[in-house]
Amino acid sequence: MTRGTRQGPVWAHQDDERWAAQFELALAHRHNPPAGLADEVLAEVHEIAQESGRPVRDVLGAPDAYADTVATERISETRRSDDGIDGLAPGARFTGALVFAGAQAVLFGIVLWVSGGFWLSAGWPQLAGGALLVLLSVTAVGVLPELRSAARPKAWRVGLAAAGALVVTTAVLFTSVPSGTLLRLPAPALFGLGALLALAGFRLPDERAGRWFAGRRAAAQPEGDDAWLARLEALLRGRHGYPATAAARFREEAGDHLRASGGSAVEEFGPVEIYALRLADNLGRARRSARAQRLPAAAVSALCLWWGYDLLAHPEPGSAWFWVKVVALILAAWSCASTLSGLRSTASRSVRKNTTRQHGS
């Protein structure tokens, strides 16, 4: 993908420039804005800053909070109702997972080239295990999050069981099955595999991938009140990050309203995706988003601890794999620390918003 050179506003203060970058990042990362919205808003912000003569942060507040406000006011409900609690559009997780798997294949090829030479010997356990490892990576990073955001709990559970089976099968192939030399291939061949995966991720439109995971029934409006209410609960749990008890309570309240009014769900509440968004679009959204990141952050933290222990217990500074593990550990630890810092910031900001709202009322 190529992007043309963009001429942005010239900011009077360095902090204003940082604010603009943080705002653009928050809007793009959390809200899936339409093309051109960030440029349009930043042009307006620049004009406001010039007229007031004050730093943008003093006038408009924190950039991420302002991004939330812009998203609520200027991105249509129809567009926002498809986005998950992570702010990603349908299909974006899967295409991103393909790019991630491609980068892994390239890195793996570099390490094997450095450690084992240009020509590599491989048996069918290594070939099958490597293919399953790529499939596992795409499933964990792309498929399962897509199914959860598409509010398809049964398909998500099937995918989770498949991921567990992939883990066991891959481990058995790599550790327990005897290996012979099936073929010899050049290490740069993995570069080609990685390039193909990454190219597929870049070229595949997010909208098309999103339709694959939505399914025909999920993409259409539910027929009947019971199906509408069941879809509402699934959307609140999967796409909007509500706990099971809270999602069930919303479903019960909507069902009580329908029984009291005698109307249909579509007549009373409208499209189920938009109604679910309206229920979820509140001060607790940031807290739910942070909660959804806790499990991946905990998994990365556990991996860092195990990896660090393994490096200290079996140091091999003469091996290329050792230094790859060191670099990977540093990157994983940095990513985990950044995520935890963001979660703490989100939690404190959510508390401040709730306190301000309570004092205001």
43-88 pLDDT, tens digit per residue, is: 999 998 888 888 889 888 888 889 888 988 899 888 888 888 888 8
Domain check: are 274 and 294 in the same one?
Answer: no
Domain check: are 207 and 226 in the same one?
Answer: no
pLDDT band, residue 251 (cuts 50/70/90) = very high
CB within 8 A of 205, min separation 6: which ones?
91
Predicted pLDDT at 346: 56
In this model, does residue 274 exceed pLDDT 90?
yes
pTM of the entire structure? Answer: 0.76
Task: Provide the 10 A C-beta neighbour count for residue 134.
Answer: 20
Domain check: are 22 and 113 in the same one?
Answer: no
% the chain with pLDDT above 70: 83
Predicted pLDDT at 361: 47
Domain membership of residue 5 (yes or no) is no
Domain check: are 247 and 336 in the same one?
Answer: no
pLDDT band, residue 315 (cuts 50/70/90) = confident
CA geometry: angle 27, 28, 34, nearest 5 deg? 95
Q: What is the mean pLDDT of the chain?
A: 82
pLDDT band, residue 359 (cuts 50/70/90) = very low
Tokens 């339709």 found at:
211
Predicted pLDDT at 78: 87
Predicted pLDDT at 321: 67
Domain check: are 137 and 157 in the same one?
Answer: yes
Domain membership of residue 228 (yes or no) is yes
Domain check: are 294 and 332 in the same one?
Answer: yes
CB within 8 A of 304, min separation 6: which ones?
329, 332, 333, 336
Domain check: are 119 and 43 in the same one?
Answer: no
Domain check: are 23 and 131 in the same one?
Answer: no
161-172 pLDDT, tens digit per residue, is: 998 898 888 888
Look at residues 258, 280, 302 and tell me which one is the last residue of a structural domain.
280
Domain membership of residue 238 (yes or no) is yes
142-158 pLDDT, tens digit per residue, is: 999 999 999 999 999 99
Distance CA 289, CA 31 (A): 12
| Helices (runs of H) and strands (runs of E) counted in the chain | 18, 2
Q: Which one-letter DSSP state was computed for residue 85? A: T
Domain check: are 242 and 300 in the same one?
Answer: no
Look at residues 280, 302, 323 and tell me which one is the last residue of a structural domain.
280
Distance CA 86, CA 29 (A): 8
Distance CA 342, CA 25 (A): 14
Predicted pLDDT at 114: 75
Domain check: are 65 and 25 in the same one?
Answer: yes
Look at residues 75, 100, 126 and tell me which one is the last residue of a structural domain.
75
Q: What domain range includes position 142?
A: 89-218
Domain membership of residue 156 (yes or no) is yes
In this structure, the strands spanning 119-122 and 183-186 are antiparallel
More confident residue, 356 or 132: 132
Domain membership of residue 2 (yes or no) is no
Domain check: are 117 and 180 in the same one?
Answer: yes
Domain membership of residue 260 (yes or no) is yes
More confident residue, 130 or 211: 211
Domain membership of residue 6 (yes or no) is no
User: For the chain, what is the domain count?
Assistant: 4
Domain membership of residue 81 (yes or no) is no
As a whole number, mean pLDDT of residues 349-359 equals 49
Domain check: are 288 and 351 in the same one?
Answer: yes
100-141 pLDDT, tens digit per residue, is: 999 888 878 887 787 777 887 777 677 777 788 888 889 988
Q: Which one-letter DSSP state was computed for residue 204? A: S
Of 35, 137, 38, 30, give the one whose Cα is nearest residue 84. 30
